[in-house]
Amino acid sequence: MAKNRSQQKETLRKVLTRLRPYRIYLISSIILAAITVVLTLYIPILTGEAIDLIVAPGKVDFASLKPLLIRGAVIVAVTALAQWIMNICNNHLTYNIVRDVRKEALRKIEILPISYIDAHPTGEIVSRVIADADQFADGLLMGFTQLFTGVITIIGTLGFMFSVNVVIALVVVVITPVSLLVASFIAKRTYKMFKLQSETRGEQTALIDETIGGQKVVQAFGHEKRTLDQFDEINERLGRYSLRATFFSSLTNPATRFVNSLVYAGVGVVGAFTALRGLLSVGQLSAFLSYANQYTKPFNEISGVVTELQNALACAGRLFDLIEEEPQTPDASPAEPLTADGRVDIEHVHFSYEPGQRLIEDFNLKVRPGQRVAIVGPTGCGKTTMINLLMRFYDPQRGVICVSGTDIQKVTRKDLRSQYGMVLQETWLKAGTIRENITFGKPDATEEEMIAAAKAAHSHSFIKRLPEGYDTVIGEDGGGLSQGEKQLLCITRLMLALPPMLILDEATSSIDTRTEIRIQRAFAKMMKGRTSFIVAHRLSTIQEADIILVMRDGHVVEQGDHESLLKKGGFYAELYNSQFVGVEG
Amino acid sequence: MRKLVKYLKDYKLESILGPLFKLLEASFDLIVPLVMAAIIDKGIVPGDKGMILKMGGVLIALALIGMACAFTAQWFSAKAAVGFSTKVRHALFEHIQKLSYSDQDNTGISTFITRLTSDINQIQSGLNLALRLLLRSPFIVFGAMIMAFVVNVKAALIFVVTIPLLSIVVFGVMLASIPLFKKVQGALDNVLGVTRENLTGSRVIRAFNKEEDEIRDFDTKNEALRALQLYVGKISAVMSPVTYLIINVATLILIWSGAIKVDNGILTQGQVIALVNYMSQILVELVKLANLIIQINKALACANRVQSVLDMEPAQAFGVYKAENVDEAEPLVCFDHVGLTYPGAGAEALTDIHFSVRRGQTIGIIGGTGSGKSSLVNMIPRFYDATEGTVKVNGVDVKTFDKEALRSLIGVVPQKAQLFKGTIRSNLLWGDEKASSEDLDRALKVSQSKEFVEQKEGGLDAEVEQNGRNLSGGQRQRLTIARALVKKPEILILDDSASALDFATDAKLRQALASLDPKPTVFIVSQRTSSIMHADQILVLDDGEQVGLGTHEELLKNCEVYQEIYYSQFPKKEGASA
C-alpha cells in the first residue's frame, strides 16, 4: 500500500514535469475555476436578496431591486466568460499533453530493444499509447478540475450555510453523507454481479473467438446447431447476470436522489420554522434550498472522481513505464565509418535470450566477400537468432562480430543495417499503396526501376491484376493479399534497394516451389558478388551455398559445403535424405 | 435498425412500463416546487405551523413514491435492454453461422467478433439509458413549462422563449460536433495505425533505417489529431457558458417581471420562488438530454453495424435431393466446364475446369501459390459456388442437393488445422456423434496420430485448449485428418493438410489412406509433388487454369508446368535416381 502510494506520488511528479510547459494554462484554469465557482455560489444569495425585496402587493422595493438585478446580470456574464476561457484552457492542456506523451512514447518505441518488442504483445503496447494516454489526460485533468471545483463548492456552501443559520446547516451536513453510505452499500452488493457478468462475458468471447474463427470447420462438419446450443447456454447465463448487475447498479441514482430529497424536505421544514421565529428571511430560505441541491451534487460525484483519478494515475503509470523503458545500448560515439566489402567474421560469440539458458556458444565463422552462407536445421533450432545477431537486433553476451574487419558494436546501427538487405519469415507490409511498399527502401526510385524490380521478383503479374495495379491500397498487414503474394512484395522491396549484403530468412517459405525456382534465379543474379545469409527449410534451395551451417538446439553442429556434409553422413545427411522418403513408397 | 426492433417485441410490456414509471417519478419531481411555494405562502407568511409540517410530510411522501417508481422503472428497463440484447446476440450468432465462405472472407472474422461482443454491449447500455431517460428529460422540460403556466400564464411566456433558445444552443452544438467527433475518431485511428505498424514492423523499419521517416509520419498524424481535437473542443466549450448565461438572464427577467406582478397582487412571493426553481430544473434536464443523445447516437451506430451483418443474405439456396437412387455408373465427382469468380473480383479465380473422378480414385491437385487449388476443392461441398458450369456429385448438380445430404458425403481437412476447446475425443466426435471407440481408434491409426495421443495424459480424453493451442502444428493437423476420417466420408478432401508433417509421416499417412476399406475417393491438394505423384489422376493448375490432367508419367512427358514443379523439387540428377 505504502509502496503503491509512493509510486502514485512518483507518477504525479512525472505528470507535473510534463505540465510545466503549459503551466500558464493550468494556473489560468485553476484561477478561472475558482472564480466560476464563487460567482456561481453568489447567484442564489443575490436571488434570495431579490426575493426578500418582493414581499407582497405594494411592498416591492423597486429602487433596490433594479441595481441588484443589474449586478446579477454582470456577474452572470463574467461567470459565463470565465467558464468559457476555462474550457479552452483545459482543452489546450489536455490535448497538448496527450500529444506530447504520445510523441515521447513513439520515439521510445523506435529505440526500444527488439527483445522488449518481442516479449510484449503489440496490442498491449498500442493500448498504452492510445487508450491509456487518453484516459490519463481526460481522467487526470477533468478529474482534477472536478475535484477542485467540488471541494470549493462544498467549502463555499458550508461557509455560507453556517454563517446564515447553524441549525439548518447541520441538517444538510448530517443527512448528506447518508447518500454516500447508500451508494457504497449498493456498489458493494453490485460488485459481485459485475464480476460474474464480466467473467461470463469473457467466457462467451472466448467461445465466439473460437467458433467464429473456425466457422469454416463448423460448417463443414454441420456443427452449427450444437455450437449454437453451446452459445445459447452461456448467453442465457450472461443475460441473467447482466440483468442483475444492470438493475442493482441503476439503483444508486434513485437512492441517492431520495437522500437528496430528504435533505431538501429537511431544509424546507426546519427553514420554515426558523423563518417563523424571524431568524431567516424567505429569500435566504430559497438560497438555502438551491444550496441543498448544489452541495449534494459534488458529494455524490466525489467518490466517482476519486476512482477516476486513481484509474488515471494507473494509466499514466503504465504509459510512463513504457516511456522510461531502458532503450537499446546507444550507438558507439564517435562511431567508426563502415563500408562493407562483404567480409563477415564471427569470433567466439556467446548468446542466449535468457540468462542461464545455453544457446549459441563459442561460435566462429569467417565469411569471405561474395560467399553464400546457408543456415539449416529443424524448426526452433535458432536459425533466426543468427540474423538477430548479424543485424544487431540483439547483441551477443560475449565475442565479436566484424564486418569488413570492423567490430559492429563500434559502428552506428544505421550504417550497419544499410549494408544489409533483408527478407524475413514474417512478412510485414505498411498500410498504403503497393508502390509505397515497394519503394519503402528507396523512395526516389523511378517507375521503370520499380517495375523492373517487380518483374525480377515475379510480383509484376499479380500486381498488374489488382484493381488499381501499383496504386492499389493494401491494409495493415497486407490486407487481402495471400501469404505468398505478401512475400513476393517483400522480395520486390529488397530487389529495388540492393545493398551489398543480403539476409533471407525463410524468404520463400509460402511460395510454391515453381515460383521459388524463378525467384532463386533472380536471387542468384542478385547475390552475385554479394555476401548473403540464407535461412531455409527446403534443402533443395541451398545446395549451391559456399558454407552450410547446420544448427540443432541452438548449436552449430556441422559446418561445410553440401558435398562434404553429405559425405560426412551426419545430421545434415539425415535431414537431406528424409525429404526423399516416400518417393519410393 | 428496423429489423432489430422486432427483437424488442417480446419486451413490449417492459419497454412501455419502464418509461411510464420514469414519467410518474418525473411528475412527482415537478410537484416539489409547488409544495415549497405552499410552505412559504400558506405556512411561513400566515405562520401556520401545521401546514408547514403537513407539506414537509408531503415532500417526504413524494420522495418515497418517486424512489419506488424509479426502482420499478429501472427494473423494467434493465429487463427489456438485457433481454433484447440477449436475443439479438443469439440471432446474430445464428445468422453468422449461415453465411457462406465468401461472406466470411469479405467481412472478416474480427468484424463478426466485434459485432457480437462490444457492439451489442453498447446497444444494451444505450437502450437501457434511452428507456429510462429519453422521455424523462423532455417531459420535465415541458412539464416545468406547463407548471409555470399553472402558476401564471404571463410569467410562463418567459419559459416559452427560453426553452427554444436553450434547445437551439444545446442541440446546435451537438449537431455541429457529432460529425466532427467521427473525424476525431478517424484521426485517432490513424495514430493508432502508425503505432501498431512501428511495433509489428520494427525489424523491417530498422533494417531499412526508416525510423526517422516513421517518426515524421507519426508526428504529422499526431499533430492532425490535436488540431482536430482543439477545433471540436472550441465548439463544445461554448455550450455550458452560453446555456448558463441564457438560463440566468431568464431568471433575472423572471424576478423582475415577478416583482411587478407581486406588486400588483397577481403573484405571491412563494410562487416567484417556484418559478425560479422550475427554470433551474430545465437547465439540468437539457444538459442531461444532450449527453443522452450522444450516447444513444453511439448505440445507434452500433445497431446499424449489427443490422448490416444481419442483412447479409446467406447467398446459397439448397435443394432437396437426398442422394437417393444413386447411379453407381456415374462418376462420383464431375466438374463440367466450371468457372469461379469471387464477388467483387475483377477476374475469374478458376477458369473452365473440366474433369471427372470415379469412385475410389485418388486425385492430386497441384499448382502454384494462388493458382486456385483450394477454391476448386471447396466447391464440392459448396463452400463456394460455381459461377460458370456445374459441379456434379453422383451425376447430380450439387446445387440440387439437400445441405445435410451433400455435406455428410464429404470429409474436409482444411488448410488451417482448427481444433476446439474440449478433449481429443470431443473433437473427433465432430465427425460423427455416434462413432464407436473402434472407429476413433482406426481414425487415429490412419492419421498417424495414435502414437502421440497415447502419450498424452488421459489419452483420448486429454484436454484440448482453445484453438488447440496446447498441441503442435503437426499434431493438430493429424487430428483434423482423424476428425474427417471418423465421418467415414465417401469423398475425403485433404486441402494442403500435410504441410506441417515431415516427409516420412506424410508418406505413411498416404499409405494408410490407400489401405482404407471401403476406400474413399480422395482429393489431395498439395505443393509437394511427392504427395500427389502416385495419384490416379493429377490436375495441374496455373493461375486458375487447368493446364494438365493425367498420371505422373503422362504429365512428366507432356505438361510443361508439371515438369517445372517436379524438377524444382527433385533436381534432375536426384529425380532420376529416386
Distance CA A209, CA A190 (A): 28
Residue B303 backbone dihedrals phi, psi, to 5 degrees: -60, -40
Residue A89 backbone dihedrals phi, psi, to 5 degrees: -60, -45
Query: What angle, 0 to 180 degrees and rounded to 10, lies between the N-to-C axes of helices A23-52 and A282-323?
Result: 170
User: What's the CATH code of the domain at B124?
Assistant: 1.20.1560.10
**Confidence at residue B578, expressed as pLDDT on a 0 to 100 scale:** 35
Q: Cβ separation of A242 and B86 shorter than 8 Å? A: yes
Distance CA B313, CA B333 (A): 28
State the DSSP string of B9-31. GGGHHHHHHHHHHHHHHHHHHHH
Distance CA A523, CA A508 (A): 11
Which residues on adjacent β-strands are paired with residue B495?
A: B525
Q: B257 and B220 in one domain?
A: yes
In terms of residue numbers, what domain contains B174?
Answer: 153-266
Q: B430 and B368 in one domain?
A: yes
Tell me the CB-side half-sphere exposure of residue A294, using CA atoms within 13 A: 27
**Confidence at residue A478, expressed as pLDDT on a 0 to 100 scale:** 62
Closest to A376 in 3D by CA, of A564, A515, A500, A561: A561
At A125, which helix (H) or strand (E)?
Answer: helix A122-127
Q: For B391-410, write each residue's pLDDT tens digit.
A: 999 888 988 988 888 888 89
Contact indicator for B540, B353 with CB cutoff of 8 Å: no
B297 vs A585 pLDDT, higher one = B297
Q: B82 and B166 in one domain?
A: no
Which of B74, B215, B346 comes nearest A106 by C-beta? B215
DSSP A121: -
Minimal CA separation from B335 to chain A, in Å: 20
Q: B427 and B348 in one domain?
A: yes
C-alpha cell at position A184: 457504497
SS3 string, B60-90, reads HHHHHHHHHHHHHHHHHHHHHHHHHHHHHHH
Q: Cβ separation of A512 and B206 shorter than 8 Å? A: no
Residue B203 contacts by C-beta under 8 Å, 6 or more apart in sequence? A114, A391, A393, A422, A424, A426, A428
Assigned domain for B282 exists: no
User: What's the CATH code of the domain at B517?
Assistant: 3.40.50.300
Q: Cβ separation of B59 and A50 shorter than 8 Å? A: no
Q: For A373-388, write each residue's pLDDT tens digit.
A: 988 876 556 677 888 8
Minimal CA separation from B277 to chain A, in Å: 8
**Confidence at residue B210, expressed as pLDDT on a 0 to 100 scale:** 84
- Asked if the model's pLDDT at residue A252 lies above 90, the reply is no
Q: B525 and B424 in one domain?
A: yes
Q: Mind listing the pLDDT tens digit of every residue in chain B (578 residues)?
A: 567 888 988 899 999 999 999 999 999 989 998 999 999 889 888 888 999 999 999 999 999 999 999 999 999 999 999 999 999 999 999 998 888 777 777 777 778 888 888 889 889 989 998 998 888 888 999 899 999 998 889 889 999 999 999 889 888 888 888 788 888 888 988 898 888 888 888 888 888 888 888 999 999 999 999 999 999 888 888 888 998 999 999 999 999 999 999 999 888 988 998 998 898 888 778 878 877 887 888 888 889 889 988 888 776 778 888 877 777 778 889 999 999 887 766 667 888 999 999 988 999 999 876 678 888 998 998 888 888 999 999 888 988 988 888 888 898 888 778 888 889 999 999 888 888 999 999 999 999 999 889 888 888 899 988 778 788 778 888 999 999 999 889 999 998 877 767 777 888 888 888 888 888 999 999 887 888 888 999 999 887 889 999 999 999 999 888 888 888 777 664 444 33
Q: B109 and B167 in one domain?
A: no
Interface A–B counts its CB contacts (< 8 A) at 417
Length of chain A: 585
Q: B180 and B107 in one domain?
A: no
Distance CA B274, CA B262 (A): 13
Residues 504-533 of A with CB under 8 A from B: 510-517
Which region, left, alpha or beta, applies to residue B144 given φ > 0 means left and ψ of -120 to 50 means alpha?
alpha
- The interface pTM score, or ipTM, of the predicted complex is 0.81
Residues 35-74 of B with CB under 8 A from A: 36, 39-40, 43-44, 47, 49, 52-53, 55-56, 59-60, 62-64, 66-67, 70-71, 74
Distance CA B496, CA B232 (A): 53
Most confident option among A312-321, A552-561, B356-365, B412-421: B356-365
Assigned domain for B406 exists: yes
Q: B54 and B186 in one domain?
A: no
**Confidence at residue B326, expressed as pLDDT on a 0 to 100 scale:** 75
Q: B28 and B123 in one domain?
A: yes
Assigned domain for B275 exists: no
- Asked if the model's pLDDT at residue A76 lies above 80, the reply is yes
Distance CA A439, CA A443 (A): 5
- Asked if the model's pLDDT at residue A55 lies above 60, the reply is yes
**Confidence at residue A2, expressed as pLDDT on a 0 to 100 scale:** 54
Q: Cβ separation of B255 and A584 shorter than 8 Å? A: no
**Confidence at residue B575, expressed as pLDDT on a 0 to 100 scale:** 41
Percentage of chain A with pLDDT > 70?
Answer: 91
Distance CA B120, CA B112 (A): 11
**Confidence at residue B105, expressed as pLDDT on a 0 to 100 scale:** 73
Q: Cβ separation of A582 and B52 shorter than 8 Å? A: no
**Confidence at residue A582, expressed as pLDDT on a 0 to 100 scale:** 42
Which of B85, B252, B466 comes nearest A210 by C-beta? B466
C-alpha cell at position B295: 450516447
Percentage of chain A with pLDDT > 90?
Answer: 19
Q: B10 and B99 in one domain?
A: yes
**Confidence at residue B577, expressed as pLDDT on a 0 to 100 scale:** 38
Q: Cβ separation of B188 and A130 shorter than 8 Å? A: yes
Which of B431, B466, B568 comes nearest A206 by C-beta? B466
Asked whether the bond before A378 is cis by omega within 30 degrees of 0, the reply is no
On chain B, the residues whose CB falls within 8 A of the CB of A268 are: 36, 39, 55-56, 59
Structural domain total, chain B: 3
Q: Cβ separation of B276 and A289 shorter than 8 Å? A: no
Q: B380 and B526 in one domain?
A: yes
For B267-321, list the strands marked E by DSSP: none
Reduce the DSSP state of residue A528 to 3 states and report it.
coil
DSSP B431: T
Q: How confident is the model at residue A538 (pLDDT cuts 50, 70, 90)?
A: low
Over residues A405-424, mean pLDDT: 88
pTM of the model: 0.74
**Confidence at residue B574, expressed as pLDDT on a 0 to 100 scale:** 44
Which of B90, B403, B511 comes nearest A235 by C-beta? B90
At B337, which helix (H) or strand (E)?
Answer: strand B333-340
Q: B347 and B302 in one domain?
A: no
Distance CA B346, CA B128 (A): 46
Q: Cβ separation of B346 and A465 shorter than 8 Å? A: yes
**Confidence at residue B571, expressed as pLDDT on a 0 to 100 scale:** 65
Long-range contacts of B38-44 (CB under 8 A, 24+ apart): B38/B270, B39/A268, B39/A269, B39/A272, B39/B270, B40/A272, B40/A282, B40/A285, B40/B268, B40/B269, B40/B270, B40/B273, B41/B268, B41/B269, B41/B270, B41/B271, B42/B270, B43/A272, B43/A276, B44/A272, B44/A275, B44/A276, B44/A282, B44/A285
Q: From residue B382, give the alpha-carbon distance in Å to each of A13, B372, B484.
A: 63, 15, 17
Closest to A97 in 3D by CA, of B183, B229, B190, B199: B229
Q: How confident is the model at residue A583 (pLDDT cuts 50, 70, 90)?
A: very low
A236–chain B Cβ distance below 8 A for any pair: yes
Reduce the DSSP state of residue A239 to 3 states and report it.
helix
C-alpha cell at position A544: 549451391
At B128, which helix (H) or strand (E)?
Answer: helix B120-129
